[in-house]
Chains A and B, each alone.
Chain A
């Protein structure tokens, strides 16, 4: 999928674990794992707002767009 998440990088920068984040934004760890692993199909604005508020960042810091052919090139 061209939309990728940088949640892991932000969590490391903020020195926060996934469990702490899930408690603060009131989302299950399972759902956050889906978001972190890139398997999510959609994200609600309310969820994005809650995560950005807790991590003190912008949506662009968490989400990025890389075309699929570029992703394949990076893998090679």
Chain B
């Protein structure tokens, strides 16, 4: 019975994910080319002065936030590279990262106790084991480090593209034209980076399982590694970002037509 409910919940989440994709398709259709002439391009110019000032402040705030994250990203990458070389030349030096997270197959009965004093039986069916894989593990340690630094670089690249987008929007606010062709490509690049990151996250445990790690023994039990299917949600986010890119492209075309309307 518990397994049945488990399957039902998983199926429900599955349906929700596909509903999101279906809604996105519908949303995109509403903004398709044949409907383009029914969209009013004059909305931006009829906004009140207060609204425009508020929008500028919001964009300025997001731009500042992105600049801070960009700085943190650059420092993180430099710090990671320095730590890696320190580990190579000073074997005694053991950094606390990069840590490997592997999803494991688990089906353990447990009990939860609530604050009102009652307790219930539960089934733990998902778990992640995190452990440090550094220099002494040889090639596996090096590949783990590469995987970590690659994910970090992808995250930094996404923030960098976002920063460039908001920078161009901030500059062009004076002309009241936030739509630029280059920004469409930047949003598409963000979607591509998210897609690559999702594929890496899904497939990395597979690499660990088939090429390096046989099993994990803990708490007098043996655990096998499974695929990280939770990272498949990132694929849907990449899809959402692609839709945003198309909406932005359509916005640019509408704006361009409006500029050439006398």
- Give A contacts to B, CB under 8 Å: 27, 31-32, 34-35, 39-44, 47
Contact = CB atoms under 8 A, between A and B. Distances in A.
Interface residues of B, number: 4
B177 to A, nearest CB: 14
Interface stretch (B115-123, B166-174, B254-262): B254-262
Contacts of A34: 260, 262
Given A40-B261, A43-B261, 18 more contacts: A27-B262, A31-B262, A32-B262, A34-B260, A34-B262, A35-B262, A39-B260, A40-B260, A40-B262, A41-B257, A41-B260, A41-B261, A42-B257, A42-B260, A43-B262, A44-B261, A44-B262, A47-B262
A29 to B, nearest CB: 12
Nearest to A39: B260
A40 B261 CA distance: 6
A51 B139 CA distance: 76
Interface string B244-262: 0000000000000100111
A41 B253 CA distance: 12
Contacts of A31: 262
* B257, B260, B261, B262: most-surrounded residue (chain A CB, <10 A): B262
Nearest to A42: B261
Nearest to A28: B262
22 contacts: A27-B262, A31-B262, A32-B262, A34-B260, A34-B262, A35-B262, A39-B260, A40-B260, A40-B261, A40-B262, A41-B257, A41-B260, A41-B261, A42-B257, A42-B260, A42-B261, A42-B262, A43-B261, A43-B262, A44-B261, A44-B262, A47-B262
A41 B262 CA distance: 8
Which A-B residue pairs are the 10 nearest by beta carbons? Answer: A41-B260, A42-B261, A43-B262, A35-B262, A31-B262, A40-B262, A47-B262, A41-B257, A40-B260, A41-B261
